[in-house]
Amino acid sequence: METIRQIPALIAKEFLLEWRSKYALGGVLLYVLSTVFIVYNGFIRVAPPVWNVLFWIMTLFTSVNAVTKSFSAENGNRQLYYYTLADPSAVIFSKIIYNSLLLILLNVLTYFAFSLVAGDPVRDKGLFYLAILLGSIGMAVTFTFISAIANKARNSATLMAILGFPVIIPILVSLIKISANALGVITDTSVGQDIMTLLAIDAILLALAYILFPFLWRD
């Protein structure tokens, strides 16, 4: 009960921090826009299959950029302070929920910006938003957890990429397949099964993050 009560407070804290250091969010937004612009300049006309892959690659890099700092932004002393106040599972859940919300926002924004310059080939909007939702949650869970691991080691920025990218591939591959369905690139009757698969992967990773985070926590 205590844990659940702590989560909203911690999420509010995350928002407050984000708001205070506006440069971080601004940096990510700028990153999204400039990537979209570069991709647009490079391709101009984008065929739906390419659009699909490009979109997910852009969201992947945006997500890494946005989530990496979730542990490194706060210094050791401040983290120590949280440890004395809050439950570890409350901390990881609040970070994951906050990062999920942030990524959903950023990815929808990427979608709007990208479809503005490169056209919008999405036919099944509902399915595509569902893919963005599940993808954002999956990436938030994975990258939050990986950044918690990488933050403990030396040169954590490099480690973040080395640890994070291979681990995200199962999620990314199933996302690309689901959104290919939404774009009408492939028609697949088993799309419901794909969504269940993605949901299951998300759930397993979330459960693991919950179980394992206390071990990363103390030192």
Q: Which stretch binds another protein (CB under 8 A): 94-102, 114-122, 129-137, 168-176?
A: 168-176
Point out which span in 35-43, 67-75, 112-120, 196-204 binds another protein (CB under 8 A). 196-204
Q: Which of 41, 154, 187, 189 binds another protein (CB under 8 A)?
A: 154
* Under 8 Å between Cβ of 71 and 151: yes
| Residue 216 makes contact with another protein by CB under 8 A | yes
Question: What is the end-to-end Cα distance of the chain in Å, rounded?
Answer: 25
Between 69 and 177, CB nearer to another protein: 177
CB-CB contact of 51 with 57 (8 Å)? no
Instruction: Give the binding-site size for another protein (rule: CB under 8 A).
Output: 28
Phi, psi of 44 (to 5 degrees): 60, -70
Instruction: Rule CB under 8 A: say whether 23 interacts with another protein.
Output: no
Please count the CA atoms within 13 angstroms of the CA of 50 that sit on its side-chain side: 10
73 DSSP 8-state letter: T
Query: Residue 206 and residue 52: Cα distance in Å, rounded?
Result: 26
Q: How far does Cα 145 stand from its chain's mean position?
A: 11
Which residue reads 């999956």 in tokens? 138
Dist CA 167 CA 128 (whole Å): 23
Question: Is residue 57 a contact point for another protein (CB under 8 A)?
Answer: no
The reply on whether position 199 binds another protein by CB under 8 A is no
Angle between helices 48-72 and 156-183 (to 10 degrees): 150
Residue 170 touching another protein (CB under 8 A):
yes
Question: Of residues 35-54, which lie at the interface with another protein (CB under 8 A)?
Answer: none
Question: Of the two residues 39 and 183, which places its CB atom closer to another protein in the complex?
Answer: 183
Residue 149 binds to another protein (criterion: CB under 8 A) = yes
Whether 86 contacts 63, CB under 8 Å: no
Q: Which of 33, 104, 167, 195 is close enough to bind another protein by CB under 8 A?
A: 167
* 80, 153, 157, 203: residue in contact with another protein (rule CB under 8 A): 153
Q: Does 95 bind another protein (CB under 8 A)?
A: no
Contact positions vs another protein (CB under 8 A): 145, 149, 152-155, 159, 162-163, 165-167, 169-170, 173-174, 177, 194, 197, 200-201, 204-205, 208, 212, 215-216, 219
